[in-house]
Amino acid sequence: MIEQYGWSDALRLAFEPHARAGYTPGRIIVQQRLENLVATDVGVLSARLSGRLRHEAREAGHPAAGDWVALSANAGAGTATLHAVLPRRTAFVRRAADSVQTLQVIAANIDVVFVVTSLNADLNPRRLERFLAAAWQSGARPVVVLTKADLSDQPEVQAAEIATLAAGCPVIIVSVRQGVGLGSLMEHITPGETCVLIGSSGVGKSTLVNALLGEERMATQDIRAADARGRHTTSHRQLILLPGGGLILDTPGIREVGLIDADAGLSTVFEDIERLAQDCRFRDCGHDTEPGCAVRGALDSGLLDAERWAHFQKLSRELAALGVTKDRMAQEVERRRLASLQRAYRSTKKDLLDPEG
Ligand SMILES: Nc1nc2c(ncn2[C@@H]2O[C@H](COP(=O)(O)OP(=O)(O)O)[C@@H](O)[C@H]2O)c(=O)[nH]1
Ligand SMILES: [Mg+2]
Ligand SMILES: [Zn+2]
């Protein structure tokens, strides 16, 4: 059963120490404050964190949807305790709603990030660029999905403009209303792979998931979670099995301010590599032929996976190519921070002068 959720030989290997400790593997399909739903070989279990994991989570953050975990199951009761989280291959990260410092993993171990934006009047290239930058940082492959093509006079022209900005990643035009483009979208979802949909609220992400499933599973802006017709729709983030074999995670709208700063996401996913690079003899080591290069050493000894290293390099280059965006992003974050400080200042001053409001 967990094979459907993407369980692989590589994961089995990473899990070995946990298997020896008597734990069972599982994948978190829903992460909520109190309850995690975990897919395991004995079914979907409702899981809580062990005391130790809860303690660790205070620093390292909570396990997220898509995480592979080591658990002890009480299959009879349908419950489990989570003891450990396997290292993440990729992660889509955003700033926690209540803080600029804390990062929150929206989806872990994803292969494709669908950056969804609609082809109506709201189409905003700058915003798309920022979503794309965040998608690149996840470590997964970004694919741009332009929705509601039926609302545009010239979807192809718009798509061509966006393709230049999307720097080589695929751009797909869809219209669920007209049944256009779902096939091309499916081509990017390989069985066993995990995809996540990101984008502003209202661009049509949940509608897309329902179209892929062939049923109204996700609540859309037309069909609410508590639907009068009693349909069982949901609005929480959930890893859903697609009929074709892949997995998809819908997300509620992510606001631009929630997107992380340029390099933070990359560091979250490739922390080990960055730590490794600090051990190089030279500060500006190119990790090529320099003597005393810790990265080369780790590659030679097999400690660092060559493919992962290549992926990291590719992403670093792409991030560098997005340098302009990075600056603009930093400026914008700073502008917003100042604006909110000013607002806060004005309202306290007003309260002092006029305590009645
Ligand atoms: N015209 C048109 N409207 C669409 C299409 N797809 C979704 N919508 C509408 O867009 C609105 C938002 O859709 P929803 O899936 O809830 O967006 P989400 O917030 O990104 O999940 C709803 O009213 C949908 O009916 C489409 O292909 N064409
Ligand atoms: Mg939605
Ligand atoms: Zn080096």
User: In this structure, are 219 and 180 located in the same domain?
Assistant: yes
SS (H, E, C) 280-323: CCCCCCCCCCCCCCHHHHHHHHCCCCHHHHHHHHHHHHHHHHCH
User: In this structure, are 127 and 57 located in the same domain?
Assistant: no
Q: Is the CB of 251 under 6 A from ligand 1?
A: no
Tokens of 222: 């037309």
Domain termination site, one of 19, 51, 85: 85
User: In this structure, are 230 and 100 located in the same domain?
Assistant: yes
Per-10-residue mean pLDDT of the chain, 357 residues long, equals 92 94 96 87 95 84 92 95 91 69 81 93 77 81 94 92 80 96 94 92 91 86 55 72 93 66 52 81 89 93 81 68 50 51 49 43
Tell me the C-alpha distance between 67 and 36, whole Å: 11
User: In this structure, are 152 and 33 located in the same domain?
Assistant: no
How many angstroms separate the Cα of 229 from the Cα of each of 208, 210, 236, 317? 21, 17, 19, 51
Tens digits of residue pLDDT in 254-310: 765 566 554 554 555 566 777 788 899 998 898 989 999 999 999 998 888 787 788
Q: Is the CB of 223 under 6 A from ligand 1?
A: no
Buried b or exposed e, range 237-269, using 16+ CB within 10 angstroms:
bbbbebeeebbbbbbeebebeebbebeebbebb
Q: Is the CB of 221 under 6 A from ligand 1?
A: yes
Q: Is the CB of 194 under 6 A from ligand 1?
A: no
Tokens of 159: 């798509």
Q: Is the CB of 176 under 6 A from ligand 1?
A: yes
Q: What is the reported pLDDT for 15?
A: 95
Kindly identify the ligand whose nearest atom is closest to the C-alpha of 200. 1
CA of residue 88 relative to chain centroid, distance? 11
The CATH number linked to 179 is 3.40.50.300
Tell me the C-alpha distance between 90 and 308, whole Å: 10
From 185, 220, 236, give the residue whose CB has the most ligand 1 atoms within 8 Å, as the site to mutate: 220
CA-only gyration radius of the chain, Å: 22
Q: Is the CB of 205 under 6 A from ligand 1?
A: yes
User: In this structure, are 126 and 210 located in the same domain?
Assistant: yes
Q: What's at 224, amino acid-wise? A: R
Which residues have CB less than 5 Å away from ligand 3 (the ion)?
Answer: 280, 285, 287, 293, 295
Residue 314, domain member (yes or no): yes
Q: Where are the beta strands (DSSP E) in the chain?
A: 24-31, 36-40, 43-49, 68-74, 79-85, 91-95, 103-108, 112-118, 141-147, 171-173, 194-198, 239-241, 247-249
Counted domains in the chain? 3
User: In this structure, are 214 and 154 located in the same domain?
Assistant: yes
The parent domain of residue 19 ranges over 2-85
How many angstroms separate the Cα of 277 from the Cα of each of 86, 185, 261, 283? 22, 38, 21, 9
User: In this structure, are 79 and 95 located in the same domain?
Assistant: no
User: In this structure, are 124 and 193 located in the same domain?
Assistant: yes
Q: What is the reported pLDDT for 339?
A: 52
Q: What is the reported pLDDT for 273?
A: 78
Residue 350, domain member (yes or no): no
User: In this structure, are 221 and 297 located in the same domain?
Assistant: no
Domain termination site, one of 52, 70, 85: 85
Residue 222, domain member (yes or no): yes
From 197, 203, 221, give the residue whose CB has the most ligand 1 atoms within 8 Å, as the site to mutate: 221
Residue 290, domain member (yes or no): yes
Q: Is the CB of 147 under 6 A from ligand 1?
A: yes
Kindly identify the ligand whose nearest atom is closest to the C-alpha of 218. 2
User: In this structure, are 115 and 159 located in the same domain?
Assistant: yes
The CATH number linked to 47 is 2.40.50.140
The CATH number linked to 312 is 1.10.40.50
Residue 187, domain member (yes or no): yes
Residues 6+ apart with CB under 8 A from 35: 46, 47, 48
